[in-house]
Amino acid sequence: MSEKQTYYITTPIYYPSDNLHIGHAYCTVAADAEARFRRLEGYDVMFLTGTDEHGQKIERKAIAAGKSPKQYVDEIVAGIKDLWKVLNISNDRFIRTTDDYHVAAVQKIFKMLYDKGDIYKNEYEGWYCTPCESFWTEHQLVDGKCPDCGREVELTKEESYFFRLSKYQKALEELYEKNPNFISPQTRLNEMLTNFIRPGLDDLCVSRTSFKWGIPVTFDDKHIVYVWVDALSNYITALGWGSDDDSLYQKYWPAQVHLVGKEIVRFHTIIWPAMLMALDIPVPEMVFGHGWLLLEGGKMSKSKGNVVDPLVLCQRYGTDAIRYFLLREVPFGHDGIFSNEALINRINSDLANDLGNLVSRTLTMSEKYFGGKIAATGASDVLDDELKVLAGDVVSKYTGLMEQLLFSNAFSEVFRLVSRANKYIDETMPWKLAKDEASKDRLQQVLYNLCEVLRIVSILMQPAMPDTSAKILGYLGVDEAGCEWASVNTFGATAQFSTSKGEILFPRIDLEKELDQLEADKQKRAAEAAKAAPAAEAKDAAPAEITIDDFAKLDLRVAEIVACEIVPKSDKLLKLSLKVGKEDRTIAASIREWYKPEDLVGRRIIIVANLKPAVFRGVESHGMLLACENSEDDCKLVFVDDCTPGSQVR
C-alpha cells in the first residue's frame, strides 16, 4: 500500500453512571482486537471510545450522590480510563460528551437540522424509560413497561423538538437493501425490520425541558438536546467534524464499523443513519450488534448485586487471559454465559495446556540440545510438509474470520495449529532423535519448525494477547521483520532463532480449589459489605450542605389521606387523595409494595407541597410525601396523626 488504507472502528460511548463491568469490557476488548488486527494488516487505524455523560439518569445519580453532574462524571470517567489501561485497550482517541468541541458540534448539528426543516417544535406526550434514556409509544410498551429493560416508564408531557425520522423511512429501507451488511449480523437486520421498520417510523422527540443536564439548544435554551442525538454524534465530532480542523474527519469518515451491543442497534441503524442523511453526510459501512455476556442467573446488574468486575479478574488471572477468554468463549454476535468455571477451564485447557506446553517444550529442547541457536537444516520429512500446509490454511482462514469480526472462530483456528504442533512433537519424538548423533540435523529441523509455528501463532494471537505474544516472540529471539504480518504466510521466513528459556506463561489452576477460594472470598466480601453498609450508606446519602435559605424553599405541609387507590397498570403506584387545610390535592407515590390503600385512609403524613407537578401513569401528581427508606426492601411513611392538616412543617 503506498498510502495506507484507513480503518475507523468505534465502541459505544459508555454511561459513566456506575463502574463498568465485564459486559462493557467485552465490547471494548472486541473492538480493540479488531483495531490491533487491522493495524497488523497495515491499515491506518482510528479506534475511538469514550463516555456518554449527559442525561436524566446521570443527573439523578449525581443528585443522589450530593455532587454536581460534572463532578460526579469526572470521577467515574477517570476510573473508566484506568480500566481500559489495565485491559490494554489501544484506543487512539477518547471522547467525552462534555468536551467543549463536542458540545459545539452537537449544537451545530441540531441547528443545521432545524434550519433544514428536519427538526420542528411540537408537544410530546409519551412514555420515557430513564435508565435506557428511550422514548416509547403506548403500543411499544410490554405489559406497560420498557420493552428493552422491563423497568417502569414515566409518562412525560413536554414541549419538544422533533426530528422527522418518518421522512427517512424509505431511504433507510434502500440503505439496508443496497448494503446487506450495514446491519450485521443478519439476525439484527431482521430484528430491526420486524420491530421498527415494518410497523413504520414515527418522528422522534429530540429535546427535553424537564431537566438541565445536557447540551442546550442554541436558539431555544429552555431545551436540551436528547441524549441519543448528543451521543451518536460523537462518532463524527471526535474527528473534528464541524470544527476549524476537520482533517481527521476527512481522513477517516465514514467509519468501517460501529461495534455496539444488541440493545442499542436500533439507535445506530435507524436514528443515526437518518441523522447523517439529513446532514448530507455519508453513513458508516457497518453496525455490528454483538450479543450479551450473561450470568447464569441472567443479566448482570448492580441492583442484582451480581456484577463481575474486570479489574478483579485481570488482577487474579492476568489481562491477556481475560481478553482471550472474552474473545474465544462466545461466538461473536451471540449471547454467552460468563462463569468462573468456564474461565478457569478455558485458561487451563487452551493457555496452560496447549499453548503453554508448546512454548515450554520447544524452548526447553532448543536450549538443551542446541544452546538456544536454531536454524533450518533442510533435513525434512513429510510430517513437516503437513505442518506447513496446515499453518498456511490457518492463516488464511483466520484472516477471513477476523475481517468479519468472528473472533472466537478465528482464535479457534490458531489453536488448531497449536494442537497440531503439540502432536508433531509426539510424532517426531525429539528426545529420541537427540540420542542419535546422526539425527542431529533432523532434530534441529524439528525444533526450527516448532519455533516457526510459535512465531506465526504469536503474530496471530497479538490482537487477543498482545503481551503474551510479545513475550513469546522475545523468547524466540525473532527480529522485527519476523514479527510482521507480511512474514506470517512464509513458513521458513526466519534465518535463525536465538531462544531463551522464559517463565511459565500460564500456570495451571486447580479448578476445585480455585472455586472454593472464590466462594470464600465472595462470602468474606459480603460480610464486610454488610458490616460497612450502614456507614457507607450514611456517607453516600449525605447530601451537599445547604443554607437555611435553601431549606426555606421547601413547603412542607401536613396532609390527611382521605382516599387511596391502586393506579391501574402499575405494580408500585398508589394514588392518594389528600386534604391539605382547605385544599384538595392528589399525589401518586411508589408505596404499593408497603401499604394497602385501606390502611392509609385517615392517616396524616408530611408532603412537599411546592414540588413541580408530574404525571405518572396518567395520574397528575402534585407533590411528594415524606417516607423513610429503611432498606431496599422496606419503606415507611412518616405519620403525624396528631398534627393539623394544612399546617406547615419547619
Chain positions contacting ligand MSP, by CB under 6 A: 12-15, 23-24, 26-27, 52, 231-232, 234, 260-261, 263-264, 292-293, 300
Of the two residues 136 and 491, which places its CB atom closer to ligand MSP in the complex? 136
Of the two residues 97 and 428, which places its CB atom closer to ligand MSP in the complex? 97
Of the two residues 21 and 585, which places its CB atom closer to ligand MSP in the complex? 21
Q: Omega before 185 cis (within 30°)? A: yes
H helices of 495-615, in order, are 511-541, 548-552, 597-600
Task: Determine the residue type at 491.
Answer: F
Give yes or no for a contact between 27 and 12, defined as CB atoms under 8 angstroms apart: yes
Closest distance between ligand MSP and the C-beta of residue 398, in Å? Answer: 24
Closest distance between ligand MSP and the C-beta of residue 27, in Å? Answer: 5
487 is written with which cell numbers? 512474514
Q: In Å, how far from its chain's centre is CA 53?
A: 14
Closest distance between ligand MSP and the C-beta of residue 168, in Å? Answer: 18
d(CA 533, CA 396): 55
d(CA 230, CA 301): 25
Of the two residues 15 and 369, which places its CB atom closer to ligand MSP in the complex? 15
DSSP symbol at 88: T
Closest distance between ligand MSP and the C-beta of residue 305, in Å? Answer: 15
Of the two residues 66 and 131, which places its CB atom closer to ligand MSP in the complex? 131
Of the two residues 26 and 491, which places its CB atom closer to ligand MSP in the complex? 26
Give yes or no for a contact between 224 and 217, defined as CB atoms under 8 angstroms apart: yes
What DSSP element (H or E) covers 564?
strand 556-566
Give yes or no for a contact between 320 and 471, defined as CB atoms under 8 angstroms apart: no
Closest distance between ligand MSP and the C-beta of residue 26, in Å? Answer: 5
Of the two residues 23 and 284, which places its CB atom closer to ligand MSP in the complex? 23
Residue nearest to ligand MSP (CB): 261
Closest distance between ligand MSP and the C-beta of residue 261, in Å? Answer: 2
* Element counts in the chain: helices (H) and strands (E): 23, 26
Closest distance between ligand MSP and the C-beta of residue 491, in Å? Answer: 37
d(CA 633, CA 650): 29
Sign of CA pseudo-dihedral 220, 226, 231, 232 = negative
Of the two residues 130 and 469, which places its CB atom closer to ligand MSP in the complex? 130
20: helix, coil or strand? coil
Beta-carbon count within 10 A of 54 CB: 27
Grid coordinates 421498527 are at which residue?
Answer: 196
Closest distance between ligand MSP and the C-beta of residue 183, in Å? Answer: 15
